[in-house]
């Protein structure tokens, strides 16, 4: 595996995918921990295992199936990732973001990215959906930015703008759909930590003080690469558990992966309804 992938790697993977489906997706959707159920609603589906796609990272975590499902959903042509690769699994930031580059090569213009996250905002409850208004690239600030390395100007600028990473128009559509369909929707700032260990009470206090509403172990690298290549992004977090430093300090609030997956089951139907509504607006159907 090269330290830095090039356009040729992305093009080869995109070319392989195009031999396995007649669809030409316009929207890519990344489904996070325990949130993969939406793929069952994709019509005329062509399913491709990540392990078949050249250089595609594999999923090693429970709740991530490792399948790319391409077809039609709510009037739109979509490519749905049922599970993603994370930095904590041992992948480089280049590998974690490889699928996003492949989607860009395929002509996908919009990315809908989802994740399971811990709620830091004291108003949040497990089972809430949070529209991502912005993110804090803490891991990137520490040096792990997926754009580190040679820049191919054909893919995007050396110093990409991140002032509107989460597309204001897509966020407005999501709010409108949520209001119309009676789906409660929070809005806030997502922060990524490398993981895989969960947060200490001092971590939680720090993350809240610096402005985060929800914390997880994904999404930020993918969104950084999406924006570098000019892809529009809508981000939605499923609040799987709440994090309160005070409770955690006395041992009442320890997060487990099982808890995250169980919350996914509750969240998934509302998340699916929200995504379907957004797709319907985007496709004008
Ligand atoms: N912390 C970090 N990542 C997470 C959490 C959490 O509490 N819940 C789901 N993903």
Domain boundaries, the chain: 7-283
Substitution candidate for ligand 1 out of 32, 34, 198, 208 with most atoms within 8 A of CB: 198
158 contacts 151 by C-beta, under 8 angstroms = yes
Substitution candidate for ligand 1 out of 34, 117, 132 with most atoms within 8 A of CB: 117
The lowest-confidence range among 60-74, 87-101, 116-130, 163-177 is: 60-74
Q: Which overall architecture, per CATH, does domain 7-283 show?
A: 3-Layer(aba) Sandwich (3.40)
What is the rounded distance in angstroms from the CA atom of residue 21 to the CA atom of residue 70?
A: 7
Q: How far does residue 217's CA lie from ligand 1's centre (Å)? A: 7
For residue 114, how many C-alpha atoms fall within 13 Å in the half-sphere facing its CB? Answer: 29
Residue 33 appears among annotated catalytic residues: yes
pLDDT digit string, tens, across residues 9-29:
999 999 999 999 999 999 999
In this predicted structure, the answer to whether residue 48 has a pLDDT above a threshold of 90 is yes
Residue with tokens 């949520």: 178
Beta strands 214-216; 110-119: pairing state: antiparallel
pTM (whole model) above 0.85: yes
Q: How confident is residue 63, by pLDDT bands cut at 50, 70 and 90?
A: low
What is the rounded distance in angstroms from the CA atom of residue 190 to the CA atom of residue 119?
A: 9
pLDDT at 221: 98
Protein residue whose Cα sits closest to atom 9 of ligand 1: 117
pLDDT digit string, tens, across residues 268-280:
899 999 999 999 9
């Amino acid at each position: 595996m090269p330290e830095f992938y090039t356009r040729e790697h992305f093009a080869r993977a995109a070319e392989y995918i195009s031999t396995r489906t007649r669809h030409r997706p316009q929207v890519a959707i990344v489904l996070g921990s325990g949130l993969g159920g939406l793929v069952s609603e994709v019509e005329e589906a062509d399913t491709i295992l990540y392990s078949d796609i050249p250089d595609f990272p594999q999923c090693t975590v429970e709740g991530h199936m490792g399948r790319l499902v391409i077809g039609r959903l709510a009037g739109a042509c979509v490519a749905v990732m049922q599970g993603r690769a994370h930095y904590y699994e041992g992948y480089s930031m280049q590998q974690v973001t490889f699928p996003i580059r492949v989607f860009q090569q395929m002509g996908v213009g919009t990315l809908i990215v989802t994740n399971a996250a811990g709620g830091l905002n004291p108003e949040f409850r497990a089972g809430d959906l949070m529209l991502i208004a912005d993110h804090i690239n803490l891991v990137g600030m520490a040096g792990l930015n997926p754009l580190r390395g040679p820049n191919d100007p054909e893919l995007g600028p050396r110093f990409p703008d991140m002032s509107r990473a989460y597309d204001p128009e897509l966020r407005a559509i999501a709010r409108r759909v949520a209001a119309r369909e009676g789906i409660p929707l929070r809005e806030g700032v997502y922060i990524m930590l490398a993981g895989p260990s969960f947060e200490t009470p001092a971590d939680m206090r720090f993350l809240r003080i610096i402005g985060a509403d929800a914390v997880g172990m994904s999404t930020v690298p993918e969104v950084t690469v999406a924006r570098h290549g000019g892809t529009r992004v809508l981000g939605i977090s499923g609040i799987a558990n709440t994090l309160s430093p005070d409770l955690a300090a006395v041992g009442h609030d320890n997060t487990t992966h099982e808890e995250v997956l169980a919350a996914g089951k509750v969240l998934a139907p509302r998340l699916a309804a929200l995504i379907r509504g957004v797709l319907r607006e985007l496709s004008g159907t």
